[in-house]
Structure formats: structure tokens, C-alpha cells
Structure 1
Amino acid sequence: MQWMIYGANGYTGTLIAEQAVARGLQPILAGRNQAAIEALGERLELPVRVVDLADQAALHQALAEVDLVLHCAGPFELTAEPMIEACLSTRTHYLDITGELAVFEYAHQQHQRAQAAGIVLCPGVGFDVIPTDCLAARLQQQLPDATHLTLGFDSASRMSRGTAKTSVRRLGEGGAIRQQGEIKTVPLAYKTRDIDFGGGSKFAMTIPWGDVATAFYSTGIGNVEVFIPASPNLVKRLKRLNRWRWLLRFNWVKNWLAKKIDAQPAGPDQQQLEQAHTYVWGEATNRAGERVELKLTVMNGYKLTSLGALDVAQQVLMQAPEGGYYTPSKLLGPELVDRYLVTS
């Protein structure tokens, strides 16, 4: 079966393409940057397609050749919708590596259309959000009547440029939690607490992570918050920034910040990919005050993404699940995360 990696020339897309070749797979590499895509295709000896998401006719033609697209070109708040719409029209399975709330919500809204088209829509098939999603599902299994779910992770890895740009674009929108089943916009650094993610207690703050959407669809738990470690100084700066968030919604500000990010390294170096592991933590509580806590240590997020995205893609191609919207744990089960555990 034919499948495509769109945005293959980006940092994470390239990692996935390289891992695909290591597995003996032959995806089509696609994107809008002709020079970069063709150079990568030549290096990896893979076929290429140059297509811009804005050219819907060309995109439909490219997708008509494939059974599945693994979408790796962010920011996904801009690129996911045109790709999903094209996939629905061409009956092409859709996977991506986003962690953006708006994309998960949009994809979930297309559930019935995906069922009718007979295709899988499963955003977040990388570090965003495989480990936290699977941990959430396991917590719900252990405490079926849980009403509150709190998740978090601690990573020392450098961000890729794409992840950093996405984070900057989100600043103007503030934070997000799920409360009584609904996503609620909250200030940046809305809540803080001390958490032992796995490497010792750390001061942490809430972030608008993808699980605010996906954990609800995976578990049915209506109250979800996600935390990461943060210094007290960073929390203070973010709290002060709340009054100026409106400035960050202007495109010229976003573009200025994106240019500054472009001057940074593309992403983690090889040493970080191999050695910068990630602690994943979660707790579930119910009305009776019962509490369950789980911790995992997984590989570097970008390495996990390069493996996880391929694992999900291969599974979908081999098994052709019933069409509809899925989270990673709903598609492959909570045990999916076991493939990426670090034991020493």
C-alpha cells in the first residue's frame, strides 16, 4: 500500500523518513519546498511529490495515489484543516504529530464524516500525545469512576523549531484546561503545584497540552489539567504577560518571534535524542477522594515520535480499522506506550 509523509523535510519529518528507511519502508516524501524535498528524496532514495496545501487540486491528485498520509508540516492550526478536508474527499487515512488543542477538536468534529468515508483520523501519533494519552487510559482503567485527571511530563530535551513556533503562536490564546467536559480558556501559568514526575519533586505549572482534548475522548473524565516543570521566575513572567497577551495575537508579532526561533538549532542533537529521556506522570481522583498515581520513563520525545508515528501508520495500513476519529490509545490500546519505555 502507498503512503506519504507530508512535511518530510522538517526536523521531525526527516527523523520519521530516516526511520522508515531503516525499517525497509518506502513512503512518498512530500512538501512544498521543492529543493529540500528533492534533496531528501535523493539522499534516502525515496519518491517525492512537491505540492502546496493551498493548491487543493494538486493536493487531491497527490492523495489519490496513497492510502494514508502522515502529516508533519506545522503549525497544524493552519495546515491540518486543509489536509484533513483533502483526506476526507480522497478517502485517505490521516495521521499527524500535532499537540495543538484546536486540531484535536477539529478532527473530533469530523468523526461522522470520517466514518462515512471509511478513513481513520488520528492526530497526535507522536510524543504529542502517545505517552500521556496511554497513561490517561491506564489511570481510568484503575479508577473507573474518576472525575479528575491530572497529567504531566518532564523533559530536558531541546525543542525543535516547529514545536517552538507552535508554542509561541499559542501564547496569545492563554492556557487551557477541561472543566466539566468543556475546554476552558485560562490565564498562562493558571495553576502551580509541586510534582514528582519521576526524577524528584519540581515546581510545575499548567499548560494547554493536547491531552486537554484527547484525554477526555480516551477516558470520558471531564476535568483534565496538564503540568510541566517551570521555574518560579518563568511563572512570574508568564503571569505578567497575561495582561499583554492580546499583542501576541498579531501576525506581525508571531512572525517576528518565528524569525528569532529560526536562528536557533533545528532540534535536539543526536546525543539528546539518545540520552534525554522523559518522565511522564499522572493522577486520577474520584468523588470519594480516592487517588491513583502512575509514572513512566520514556525515550526522548522526538525519537518517540519517529517510532510511534511509524508504528501507528503501519498498524492502520495493515488492519484498516473502522473509519472515524481516534486517539492513539483508542486506536492501538494503552499498551502502545510500552514500546517506548526506558528501563535503565
Structure 2
Amino acid sequence: MTWMIYGAYGYTGELVANYAKSQGLKPLLAGRNEKKLKAVAERLELPYDVVNLEDEVALRQALGEMDLVVHCAGPFEVTAAPMIDACIATRTHYLDITGELAVFEYAHSKDDEAKRAGIVLCPGVGFDVIPTDCVAARLKEQLPDANHLTLGFDSASRMSRGTAKTSVRRLGEGGAVRRDGKIETVPLAYKTRTIDFGNGEKFAMTIPWGDVATAYYTTAIPNIEVFIPASPKLVKRLQRMNYLRWVLRFEWVKNWLEKKVEQQPAGPSEKQLEEALTCVWGEASNAQGEKVSLREKVMNGYKLTSHGAVDVAQHVLAETPQGGYYTPAKLCGAELIERYRIK
């Protein structure tokens, strides 16, 4: 089986390529920047191909020789659709490491086309959203009639530049929750509450995390919110920012914010990758007021992403599931989280 890592020279893409190499695998590395791509490929002694997503003919020609692509080049709100469309056209399985709601919804809208093409579409095969998706699936098993699902995580790890760019690009869109089965736009820091994610109670706020989309497809629970720890000061700052969200939608403002992000380190250090663990939490409740909760400790989010992307790719290539849209827990089972659990 032949497979590709697209965007293999970005911070997370390179981690994915490193892990694949450590497992004795030989994916084709791809991307549009030949200098950066060649440096990674030569270091890992892996084949590479310079492919620009904007060149539809060249992209489809490259994918036509692949069984699967792991898409790692963001911002995914820009890059996912052309890659997904090309994968459907060339009958190439599609995985990515996004956490962007719009991408999950776009992939889900392509379910019928993926079925006809006989390919898997499974975005979110990294920290976004493997651990939270598996927690959601297990909570659904414990409380089958749940109608509310709350998920969250606590990580001390630094964001990569790519994740930070995605975050600032979305500020103008506000937050998001799922209510009565539909995704609703809400203000930034829409809700706050105190949560014990697994390392003591912390003040937390809602964020527009990928599970607002994916957990619904995994569990069919119609009301979903996702929380992370946040200082009261940050919450107030974000709530004040709601009055200026319209300004943040201008492309020149997004570009300015992205340039600010470029001044940050590429991502977590080697020490953080090994030591900065993540606490994942979830709670489900039903109409009768019954509640169940679950806590897990997993490896650093970026390390988990590098492992998850490769693990799910190998699962798809080995098991050849029926075509269609999947979430990680639907594709690999809720037990997938056990690979990344810290005892």
C-alpha cells in the first residue's frame, strides 16, 4: 500500500513523518515548498514529491498513485476542501489532523460521494479529536439515553504556530456549541464553570472545539459543549472582544495576527512533548438528571497527533473499511484511546 503525508515539513507534519519512519514505514512526503520538503525527506531518507494544492491536475495526478493521504497542511479551512475533492476523484482515502468545525462539516457533507468512491473520509485523527471522541463514545455506552454531553481537556503544552494561526483566524467567528442537534454560533467564552479535568478543579470556558461537530456523529447526543481551563482575566478579555469580532473577520486583520504568530516558537520543545501530559474529561447526562463522567490522562497533544495519524492510516490500509465519512471512534473504536493513555 502506498500513502502520502502532505505538509510533511510543518511542525506537526514533520512529527508525523518522524513517527512513521520510526515504525519502519515509508510514506511519500509531499508539499509545495521544495526546499523545506527536501530537507525533511533527506534527513528521514524518504521519497518526496513537490505538489501544490492549487494545481488541481498535478494534485490529482499525485494522489492517483496513492491509496491514502494524511493531510497535515493548514489552515485546513483553506486546504481541506481541495484535498478532499481530489481524494474523492482519485479514490484515495483521506485523513487529516484538523480541529476545525467547518472541515468536519464539509467532510460529513461528502459522505455519499465517499461511499460511491469507496474511500474513508476521517478528519481529526490527531489530538483533535481522538481522545475526546473516544471519551464521548464511552460515555454514550454508559448512558445510552444521554441528551447532553460536555467534554474538555487541560494541557500545559505550548501551541504550534499552525494551531495558533488557526485559532486567530477563527476569532471573528466566535464560539460554537451544538444545541438540539444543530451547531450554533455563540459569543467567545460563552459559558464558564469549574471543572476537575483530572488534576484539581479549575475555572474553565467554552471553546469551538472539533467535538461540537464530531461527537454528534459519534454519539447522536444533540447538545454538546467543550471546555478548557482559562483564567478569569482571559475570559473577560475574550468577552470584551465579542464587541469587535466583526473587525477580526477582515482578511488583512487575520493576516496581521498570523504574522504575529510567526514570531513564536514552532511548537512545544522535545521536553514538553515527553513531559507535558494532557487531562481529558467528559460528562454525559439524560433527561432524568442521571450523570456519568470519565477522566483520562494521555500523552502530549502533538505527540498523540503524530502517533494517531500514523496509527489510523495503518488501520485504514490494513482493514479497508467501507467508504464514507467517519470519526476516529467510529472508524477504530473507542479503545483507540488506550494506545495513548498514560498510566
Shorter-chain TM-score: which interval? Answer: over 0.9
Aligned to 2:301: 301
CA–CA separation in structure 1 for the residues paired with 2:278 and 2:119: 32
CA–CA separation in structure 1 for the residues paired with 2:7 and 2:253: 24
CA–CA separation in structure 1 for the residues paired with 2:309 and 2:240: 37
CA–CA separation in structure 2 for the residues paired with 1:57 and 1:174: 36
How many residues were matched structurally? 343
Aligned to 2:108: 108
Q: Which amino acid aligns with 1:144?
A: P
Aligned to 2:90: 90
CA deviation vs aligned residue, 1:89-119 (integer Å, no higher than 9, x gap): 0000000000000000000000000000000
Aligned to 1:170: 170
Q: State the Cα distance separating 1:45 from its structure 2 match.
A: 0.6
Q: Which amino acid aligns with 1:200?
A: G
Give the RMSD, CA atoms, in angstroms.
Answer: 0.4
CA–CA separation in structure 2 for the residues paired with 1:179 and 1:94: 29
Verify: 1:215 aligned to 2:232, yes or no: no
CA–CA separation in structure 1 for the residues paired with 2:60 and 2:287: 49
CA deviation vs aligned residue, 1:112-142 (integer Å, no higher than 9, x gap): 0000000000000000000000000000000
Aligned to 1:52: 52
CA–CA separation in structure 1 for the residues paired with 2:295 and 2:190: 23
Aligned to 2:258: 258
Verify: 1:275 aligned to 2:275, yes or no: yes
Q: Which amino acid aligns with 1:118?
A: G
CA–CA separation in structure 2 for the residues paired with 1:278 and 1:296: 8
Verify: 1:4 aligned to 2:9, yes or no: no
CA–CA separation in structure 2 for the residues paired with 1:214 and 1:184: 14
**1:190 aligns to what SS in structure 2?**
coil
Aligned to 1:190: 190
Aligned to 1:153: 153
CA deviation vs aligned residue, 1:32-80 (integer Å, no higher than 9, x gap): 1110001111111111110110000000010011100000000000000
**1:159 aligns to what SS in structure 2?**
coil
**1:172 aligns to what SS in structure 2?**
helix
**2:20 aligns to what SS in structure 1?**
helix
CA deviation vs aligned residue, 1:265-314 (integer Å, no higher than 9, x gap): 00000000000000000000000000001000000000000101111000
Q: Which amino acid aligns with 1:44?
A: L
Aligned to 1:142: 142
CA–CA separation in structure 2 for the residues paired with 1:95 and 1:228: 25
Q: Which amino acid aligns with 1:130?
A: I
CA–CA separation in structure 1 for the residues paired with 2:86 and 2:161: 26
Q: State the Cα distance separating 1:185 from its structure 2 match.
A: 0.3
**2:173 aligns to what SS in structure 1?**
coil
CA–CA separation in structure 2 for the residues paired with 1:198 and 1:42: 42
Q: State the Cα distance separating 1:206 from its structure 2 match.
A: 0.2
Aligned to 1:315: 315
CA–CA separation in structure 2 for the residues paired with 1:65 and 1:234: 48
Q: Which amino acid aligns with 2:79?
A: T
**2:205 aligns to what SS in structure 1?**
strand
CA–CA separation in structure 2 for the residues paired with 1:33 and 1:245: 33
Instruction: Report the TM-score, using the length of structure 1 for normalisation.
Output: 0.99
Q: State the Cα distance separating 1:12 from its structure 2 match.
A: 0.4
Aligned to 1:62: 62
Aligned to 2:15: 15
Q: Which amino acid aligns with 1:154?
A: D
Percentage of identical aligned residues: 72
CA deviation vs aligned residue, 1:164-184 (integer Å, no higher than 9, x gap): 000001100000000000000
Deviates more, 1:36-45 or 1:217-226: 36-45
CA–CA separation in structure 1 for the residues paired with 2:18 and 2:146: 41
Aligned to 2:339: 339
CA–CA separation in structure 2 for the residues paired with 1:318 and 1:286: 38
**1:227 aligns to what SS in structure 2?**
strand
Flag as ranges the 4+ runs of structure 1 deviating above 3 A.
none
Q: Which amino acid aligns with 2:195?
A: I
Aligned to 2:128: 128
Instruction: Report the TM-score, using the length of structure 2 for normalisation.
Output: 1.00
CA–CA separation in structure 2 for the residues paired with 1:79 and 1:240: 31
CA–CA separation in structure 2 for the residues paired with 1:330 and 1:200: 31
Verify: 1:240 aligned to 2:240, yes or no: yes
Aligned to 1:77: 77
Q: State the Cα distance separating 1:156 from its structure 2 match.
A: 0.1
